[in-house]
Structure 1
Amino acid sequence: MRGALLVAGTTSDAGKSVITAGLCRWLARRGVRVAPFKAQNMSLNSFVTADGAEIGRAQAMQAAAAGIEPSADMNPILLKPGSDRRSQVVVLGKPLADVDAVGYGAYRDRLRAIALESLGRLRAEYDVVVCEGAGSPAEINLRAGDIANMGLARAAGLPVLVVGDIDRGGVFASLFGTLALLSAEDQALVAGFVINKFRGAPELLEPGLDMLRSLTGRPVLGVLPWADVPGMDVEDSLGLADPVALAPYGGQTLRVAVVRLPRVSNFTDVDALASEPGVVVRYVTSPGELDDADLAVLPGSRATVSDLAWLRGRGLDLAIAERAKAGRPVLGVCGGYQMLARTIRDEVESGAGLVEGLGLLPADVEFAREKTLARPEGVAYGRPVAAYEIHHGLVTRDPGAEPFLDGCREGSVWGTTWHGAFENDGFRRAFLREVAALAGRDFTPAPDVSFRALREARLDALADLVERHLDTAAILRLAESGPPPGLPFVPPGAPA
C-alpha cells in the first residue's frame, strides 16, 4: 500500500505523539514500511540523528516505534523557545536563526516548501507516513501561515484524524468546536475523531458518540482507554510529570530531585533513572524540596543564564551549594553543567556577557555561535557510554580536574554535556551505586533492567491499544484513499 494521514489534536498534549507512535508500531508489526513526520515542532526536548541533525525527541521515539533510524526529514522544522517571544529556528537539523513571531513570518514560505519536500521524500521511500499535527488545527489566528496542521493537509491532500483528551473534560465540545471553526475546504479533509484517555464504563459514552456522529457526519474511529505507558518522550513541559517509579528492588528507595527550570530541555534524561526499580524521581522548584533528595539534578536548559538567575531568585543556588559542601550528590547535565561552572561568558544566547556561575566545578564556559551537535561515545566506571550533544556553551575544565564523560567531577558534584547517557544500563547502575554510597543509602540497582527493552515494551503496549481500540481497517483505508467525498460542512453554532 501507499498512503499518509495526519493525526491532529484539539489541544497540545491531547495524545497526538503517542497515538502516532502507536500507529507506527502497529503498522511496522504488520510488515508495513512506515515513517513518522511532523512538519513543524515547538519543543525543547530534542535528539541528534546519526548524521548530526537535531530533531524533536518525539519524532525519534516514533522512528523507534517504526523500527527505523530517525532523520531530519521526519521533523524538518524545529522551534526551540529561548524566551516568551523568541525561538531558535532549526531547519533540517541545523540552526537557521533566532526570531520572534513577526520575524518568523519572513521565513514561512521557504519553510513550507522545505516541509513539503521532506514529506515527499518520506512518501517516496515508505509505504505509509503517519504525520503529527502541532497544537490544534483550530488556531484560526494562525491559519494563514499554518504549515503543520490543515495547511499541510491541504497542500498534501492528507486525511485528518482529530484526537481529543476526555480526561481534560469537555471533549465533545472541543471535537465539535475544532471542526466547526475550520473552513469548508479544511473540513473536507477531517475524516474522523479519536477520543483519548477514557476512564469508566463505555456505555456511558455512547450517547455522546452518537450525537457527535449525527452533528458532524463523521465517525468516531475509536476510544482509547486511560493507560499508564510511562517513558514516552513528551514534547514540552506541558506534558512533564514525575516519571513513574518501578517497584523497589531490595534495600531502600533512592530519591532523585530534578530542578524544574523555566526553560528546561531534554528532561527525558532522567526517565532512564526512573526505570531503575526503587529509584523515585520528582521535579522540584523550591529549596526545601531538595532536603531529602539523595541526588539533586540540574537538567538541560535552552536559556542557561536566565534559568541560572531564576535558580538564584528561588534560593536554590544556596541549597545546591550546601549539598555540595556536605558531600551530598549533585549532577548537572548540559545547561545544568554550565551553571555549576565558575564563569559563563555568553554573547550568543542571552547576550549577558560574563556571568558568575555556581562555582562548584573547576571549569569555565564560553558560548559559541555554532551549535555542537554530536553522537559521542566513551567509557565511564569501566562501562561503555553512547550519548548525544546539543549545546552552544563550550566548557573548558581545569587541566587537573577529574574527568566524567566529557565533563568533570569535584567530590560529590558531577557535570556533563552528554544527553541520554543514563540509557546505557551498565553505566547507569554504576553511577547510582556511587550516588547511593555517598548518600548513605542501602540501595542496590537491579542487575537486569534494560532501558531499551522497557521502551520497546512500552511501544508494543501502545500498538496493542491501537489494535484493540481503534478502527484500524478504516484508518488504513483513509491513509490509502484519502477522506471520503461528500463529508458535510458543519457551520459554527450548528448544535443549537
Structure 2
Amino acid sequence: MDVAPGGGLLVAGTTSDAGKSVLVTGLCRWLARRGVRVAPFKAQNMSLNSYVTADGAEIGRAQAVQAAACGLEPTADMNPILLKPGSDRRSQVVVRGRPVADVDALEYGARRDELRAIAVESYRRLADEFDVVICEGAGSPAEINLRAGDIANMGLARAVGLPVIIVGDIDRGGVFAHLYGTVALLDAADQAHISGFIVNKFRGARELLAPGLDMIEGLTGRRVYGVVPWLDGLWMDVEDSLSLDNRPANTGSAAADGALRVAVVRYPRISNFTDVDALAAEPGVTVGFVTSPAACADADLLVLPGSRATVHDLAWLRDTGIADLVVRRTGPVLGICGGYQMLARTITDHVESGAGTVPGLGLLPADVAFAREKTLGRPAGEGYGHPVRAYEIHHGVVTRDGGEPFLDGCRVGNVWGTTWHGALENDGFRRAFLGEVARAAGREFRGDPTLSFAGLREARLDALGDLVERNVDTGALISLIGSGPTPGLRTLPPGESGASGPAGPC
C-alpha cells in the first residue's frame, strides 16, 4: 500500500470510553499488516494502567498495546505525557517516561506551554521515522473549559496539521447530538480540522441507522467514515477503572463446573489491574472485581492489585471491612505491587501520602519504605520452574526477612506477594501458580496447556484490524491521512464566533 511518509490522523471521541483506543489499535494493526510503517501516539494520557519500555520509561499501557499492534517495541515518544491521579485533585506527571512532579490542575496549567512543546517534539520525531502516525485524543475535544490548555485533541491537531475523525458511542444513546455538538462547540479554526465521524458500538440493523447517517452528513458537511459494530471480548489492557463497569466476565460458571473463583479488590486508586487479564483468559477460571467483604467471601483466590495511593487504599480496605476479612482468611491471597505492600508489617511513606509509618496487614514478613525515586524496570526471573518476564513500577521499596521466595517477593502459607506486574502473562508460571492456588483452596485446576496469552493478544489485535477493514472506508481514510484536513469544510454555529478556543495556533 502506497502511503506518503509523514502522514497522520487524530482519532478523537465524543466522550471518554467512546472507543478511541480500540479504533486506534485496529487502525494500527490494519496498516501494519499492509506493510505501512505505522506508529501510535497519545500526547497526554491520564491512566493508572501503565507499562515500562525496554529502556525504563513509563507510558500508558494502551499505547504499549497499540505499539504491539504495529509490531513495534513501545517508546516514551508514543506517550510523552502521562498523568497518574493520586487523589481527586492531584496527579503525578510523567514526562517522557520519568516522573517530574505531583501537581493539581492549576499547577499543571502553568506547565502547559512546556508540555505542549514536548508533545509536539515527540510527535514530530515519530512522523520523521514512520510513514503514518495514528494519534489518540483524550476525553472529548468539546471540553471547552479546558480548550486553552489542550495538548491532546485540537491543540495537537492544529499544532501539527492533523485531520481529525470523531468517534461516537451509539450504545450510550444520543450519538448524533454528540457528533454535531462536538463540532459546533469548537471555534472555526478547530472545526476546519474535523473531517468526519465514525459511529462505534452499533447493535442492530444498519438500514435503520442509514437515515441518521445521511442527516448528520448533510447537517455538518462531513462524511461518516464507518459504522463499527458492538463486539464483546475484543479489548484488554483498558486505560482506567471506569472501563471495568462494562468489562465482560469470562465464560464459565463457577457453581456449575467448579471453576476457580478469583476476586480482585477494586479500591479507589486501583492501578495496573490488567495483571489479571491473563487469569480471566484461562478456561476454568472466573474473575470478578469486588468492593465489599461479602463479595470476597467465597473466592478461591483474593487478589490485592496495584495502587497509585497505597496508604489511602489500605485505609479504604479497613473502612470497608475487607482488611479484616483478608487478615482472617485462610484461603489464598495474592498481593501485586501496592497490594504486596499492604500485606507487609509496616509502610513508611513520606513521598506518596506523607502519612509517615502506618501498620500494614502484617501477613508477610516485610517492611516498606517509599523512595522519592521511582523504580522502573523490566525484570526477569523464574517461578515454579518456569521463566518469568515482568515489569515493575513503584516508589515503595520492600525489605523482607523471611518467608519462602516468590519471584522478587515472598510467600507465607497461602499468602503470596510480588512487586512484578505482568508475571501472570507467562503461561507456564501462571498455570503452575493456579495449580498451587487450587490445591490450597481444595479445588481442581487443569488449565489448557495450549493456551498462549501472547497468542491470544495477537489474535485480538488481528480481530481489531479485521473490524476496521470490514466496517470503515479505509480507502477514504488513507486519502485523508495523505492529504491532511479536508479543505472547504462547513463551519457550524456557534463555532463561527470563535468564542470557544484561543486565537493562537494550538
- Bucket of the pairwise TM-score, normalised by the shorter protein: over 0.9
Cα gap change, 1:117 to 1:348, in 2 (>3 Å)? same
User: d(CA) in 2 for partners of 1:252 and 1:445?
Assistant: 13
Q: Which residue of 2 aligns with 1:22?
A: 26
Q: Which residue of 2 aligns with 1:62?
A: 66
- 1:464 shift after superposition: 0.4
- 1:106 shift after superposition: 2.0
Q: Which residue of 2 aligns with 1:159?
A: 163
Q: Which residue of 1 aligns with 2:250?
A: 245
- Tell me the C-alpha RMSD between the 2 structures: 1.4
Q: Which residue of 2 aligns with 1:313?
A: 319
Kindly, what percent of the aligned residue pairs are identical?
Answer: 74
Q: Which residue of 2 aligns with 1:149?
A: 153
- 1:81 shift after superposition: 0.2
Aligned length: 490
Aligned pairs for 1:481-496 within 5 A: 481-492=483-494
Q: Which residue of 1 aligns with 2:399?
A: 396
The 8 Å contact of residues 332 and 414 in structure 2, kept in 1 or not, is answered as yes
User: d(CA) in 1 for partners of 2:299 and 2:387?
Assistant: 27
- SS of match in other structure, 1:240: helix
Q: Which residue of 2 aligns with 1:349?
A: 352
Amino acid at match of 1:172: F
- 1:244 shift after superposition: 3.6
- 1:247 shift after superposition: 5.1
User: d(CA) in 2 for partners of 1:179 and 1:33?
Assistant: 31
Q: Which of the numbers 412, 422, 442 marks the counterpart of 2:424?
A: 422
- Is residue 466 of structure 2 the alignment partner of residue 461 of structure 1? no
The 8 Å contact of residues 314 and 342 in structure 2, kept in 1 or not, is answered as yes
The 8 Å contact of residues 361 and 409 in structure 1, kept in 2 or not, is answered as yes
Amino acid at match of 1:146: D
Q: Which of the numbers 252, 258, 270 marks the counterpart of 1:264?
A: 270
User: d(CA) in 2 for partners of 1:6 and 1:251?
Assistant: 46
User: d(CA) in 2 for partners of 1:186 and 1:493?
Assistant: 9
Q: Which residue of 2 aligns with 1:334?
A: 337
The 8 Å contact of residues 54 and 72 in structure 1, kept in 2 or not, is answered as yes
Question: Could you report, residue by residue, the CA deviation over 1:69-111 in whole angstroms, capped at 9, with x for unpaired residues?
Answer: 1000000000000000000000000001000001112211111
User: d(CA) in 1 for partners of 2:453 and 2:362?
Assistant: 33
- 1:492 shift after superposition: 3.7
Aligned pairs for 1:21-420 within 5 A: 21-241=25-245, 242=247, 244-246=249-251, 252-323=258-329, 326=330, 328-398=331-401, 400-420=402-422
- 1:413 shift after superposition: 0.2
Amino acid at match of 2:218: S
- 1:389 shift after superposition: 0.2
Question: Could you report, residue by residue, the CA deviation over 1:290-321 in whole angstroms, capped at 9, with x for unpaired residues?
Answer: 11100000000000000000110000001111
Structure 1 unmatched runs, 5+: none
User: d(CA) in 2 for partners of 1:251 and 1:170?
Assistant: 41
Q: Which residue of 2 aligns with 1:472?
A: 474
- 1:278 shift after superposition: 1.4
Question: Could you report, residue by residue, the CA deviation over 1:426-463 in whole angstroms, capped at 9, with x for unpaired residues?
Answer: 00000000100100112211111100000000000000
- SS of match in other structure, 2:481: helix
The 8 Å contact of residues 389 and 417 in structure 1, kept in 2 or not, is answered as yes
Amino acid at match of 1:142: L
- Choose 484-493 or 42-51, whichever is displaced more: 484-493
The 8 Å contact of residues 10 and 135 in structure 1, kept in 2 or not, is answered as yes
User: d(CA) in 1 for partners of 2:182 and 2:481?
Assistant: 21
User: d(CA) in 1 for partners of 2:234 and 2:290?
Assistant: 19
User: d(CA) in 2 for partners of 1:268 and 1:80?
Assistant: 16
User: d(CA) in 2 for partners of 1:443 and 1:91?
Assistant: 43
The 8 Å contact of residues 8 and 163 in structure 1, kept in 2 or not, is answered as yes
The 8 Å contact of residues 229 and 461 in structure 1, kept in 2 or not, is answered as no
- 1:248 shift after superposition: 7.9
User: d(CA) in 2 for partners of 1:363 and 1:142?
Assistant: 44
- SS of match in other structure, 1:205: helix
Amino acid at match of 2:348: R
User: d(CA) in 1 for partners of 2:172 and 2:386?
Assistant: 44
Amino acid at match of 1:461: A
User: d(CA) in 2 for partners of 1:315 and 1:246?
Assistant: 29
TM-score (norm 1): 0.97
Structure 2 unmatched runs, 5+: 497-506
Q: Which of the numbers 442, 446, 449 marks the counterpart of 2:448?
A: 446
Q: Which residue of 1 aligns with 2:502?
A: none
User: d(CA) in 1 for partners of 2:35 and 2:424?
Assistant: 31
Amino acid at match of 1:395: V
User: d(CA) in 1 for partners of 2:383 and 2:252?
Assistant: 27
- 1:230 shift after superposition: 3.8
- 1:240 shift after superposition: 1.6
TM-score (norm 2): 0.95
Cα gap change, 1:486 to 1:231, in 2 (>3 Å)? closer
User: d(CA) in 1 for partners of 2:340 and 2:301?
Assistant: 15
The 8 Å contact of residues 230 and 244 in structure 1, kept in 2 or not, is answered as no
